[in-house]
A and B are shown apart, each in its own frame.
Chain A
Amino acid sequence: MKFGVVDGTFGYYKNPILFENVNFTIEKSEILTILGPNGVGKTTFLKCMMGFLKWNKGETIIDGKSFYSMSTSDIWKKISYVPQAKATIFPYSVMEMVLMGRNPHLGVLSMPSNQDQKLCEWALEELNIIKLKGKIVSELSGGELQMVLIARALVSEPYILILDEPESNLDIKNQLVILNIIQKLSEEKNITCIINTHYPAHALKISDKTIMFSNNTHHIYGNTKDIVNESNIRKFFEVDSRILELVENKKRLRTIFPIRICKS
């Protein structure tokens, strides 16, 4: 399962172009992070990639096929979207919420069966949140709600998971929970993950590839270890930083420490 964008270009009507000629291809079970300062259009990029907004130029490609040539249900059987967790207007139960994820596999008049119900329980167990099963989503914490949304995305049995800032607004433990889950899904289920994040350190921690956007429609794409470095962080985020390495349990870990704002 290959997923990519060819010549992706977009700008809102009458406004300057946000990003131009973005090209990337990722393979099965790879993780791609999308980095950039606030306001460069990271979320807009995700929306274009999924067809919520129409590219001005270019297209999204899945296994050599253009999105434009595929039906909605075909697309959403292959990819699954995890939006940022926010309260819903009508508080559904966790189970009702997760069941909605089965929709791409259900016909117009059909409703989820016991089989679908079981699959949802499996997803909740897989994510270690089966204890939330009987709860109402309005009773959940931000981290729990984000996990429920991931469960909902998983029950459509996707090849590709697209997450919009899944770990923002969460405490450090819950951030780790989410990042570990993404890694686990990519390693054990071979799911390709694309995440949008504010944290370069998270890109270093989990991703294989990175796209970094800057404020002047410029972007770079490549292997994370080549993209997330001190000079690019200075150029794209206007922050002086150090990449730090440490060894823990015989594993080499890399993170990034922001030192000061640099004059551009």
Chain B
Amino acid sequence: MKLTKKSNKGKLLILALLPLILLIVSLCIGRYYVNPQTTFSLLLSNFIPVESIWEPIEELIILKVRLPRVLMALIIGAGLSVSGTAFQSIFGNPLVSPHVLGVSAGAGFGAALGILLSSNVFVIQIMALAFGIGAVMITYLISKRKKASTLFMLVLSGVITGAFFTALISLIKYVADPDDKLPEIVYWLMGSLTGTSINDVIISSPFIIGGMIILVLLRWKINILSLSEEEARSLGIDITKYRLIIIGASTVITAVSVALCGIVGWIGLVIPHVGRMIVGNDHKVLIPASIFLGGFYLLLIDNMSRILTSAEIPLSILTAVIGAPFFAYLLRKTGGRWA
């Protein structure tokens, strides 16, 4: 299949429009429907004076409830997806996800411990963040031998750290009060964006977007990093330095995401492959494509989560239940030979 540069630019443009359109749609729909015109005026009223044509309740729903949640879904989906793409490349392995170095198990443990000890959301988020980043540091220390750290060692160390923290999560569930704390922990671990406030968006987005900007800036180098170690070095790449930067950026993105909305699986593993099917393997295009697709996908899933049933379905369930059949269809259709 031939992929010319022009067609890829067109594809990127369409992919960029998808989340924007969905953003407007998402603000309108829900248990309380608001028509698009009102939604538009409300959004505009933040920047320029607009004649008020809306009810106060509509203003509350759109600006205070839906907007933060919709933005958060876009940002987290984009972040998880682009981290997954970068990880798959630098580990030279299409089966890894951002969780491979133990960040999610660590953050999950931090959150579970936080829920057990306190009911303050801020405490829970900080503990999730600290343990998530701490877990990746432990992984890195385990893998480090004689100043160098091979990818194979890194992945195995990630498996070890992940298993350790997963066991600790089980321990906390085992001792948690089954009437009160246990359901809270279980629900949290499965991922949810319920109750996202504009403050969450303001505090977290600089970290996630910052990480994404680093990956976008280095996107062409990520091509070279996916080659074998010596090939990459012979092309003049300081692989140790670049790997650290990319692992650091992805870890911050993932840890902050888990701290905010729990562990959302699937996106970081599968959305990169959907991107490869659409735009090919050149990370110069694939990295932006992953951002658009990831944001679009998590927003779509979160809409379903809040609209399908009266009790919200956790995100991790939906990402896979909706995504698995779709991905199976794509895989069958392309025979796995995408791009």
Residues in chain A within 8 A of chain B (CB atoms): 47, 50, 52, 72-73, 75-77, 80-81, 83, 88-93, 96, 100-101, 103-104, 108-109, 111-112, 134, 136, 138, 156
Contacts and interface: CB of A to CB of B under 8 A. Distances in A.
A47 B230 contact: yes
A66 B339 CA distance: 43
A96 B233 contact: no
B290 to A, nearest CB: 13
B38 interface: no
Contacts of B227: 88, 100
A91 B234 contact: no
Contacts of B237: 72, 103
A235 B281 CA distance: 49
A104 B281 contact: no
B234 A96 contact: no
B327 interface: no
Contacts of B3: 93
A76 B226 contact: no
Contact of B236 (A72, A93, A111, A134): A72
Given A91-B339, A136-B339, A103 B230 contact: no
Given A73-B236, A83-B234, A109 B226 contact: no
A90 B236 contact: no
Contacts of B339: 91, 136
A118 B276 CA distance: 26
Contacts of B228: 83
Interface in B207-241: 217-218, 220-221, 223-224, 226-228, 230-231, 233-238
A77 B236 contact: yes
Contacts of A108: 218, 221
Nearest to B219: A111
A136 B1 contact: yes
B89 A76 contact: no
Nearest to A82: B234
A20 to B, nearest CB: 23
B235 A89 contact: no
Given A80-B234, A93-B280, A100 B224 contact: yes
A92 B92 contact: no
B217 A109 contact: yes
A136 B2 CA distance: 8
B200 interface: no
B242 to A, nearest CB: 9
Contacts of A91: 281, 339
Contacts of B2: 134
B134 interface: no
A144 B228 CA distance: 19
B94 interface: yes
B238 A100 contact: no
B93 interface: yes
Contacts of B281: 90-92, 96
Contacts of A50: 234
A92 B224 CA distance: 11
A90 B233 contact: no
A88 B234 CA distance: 16
Given A77-B236, A83-B231, A136-B339, A96 B282 contact: yes
B284 interface: yes
Contact of B234 (A81, A93, A134, A138): A81
Contacts of A112: 220
Nearest to B228: A83
B112 to A, nearest CB: 35
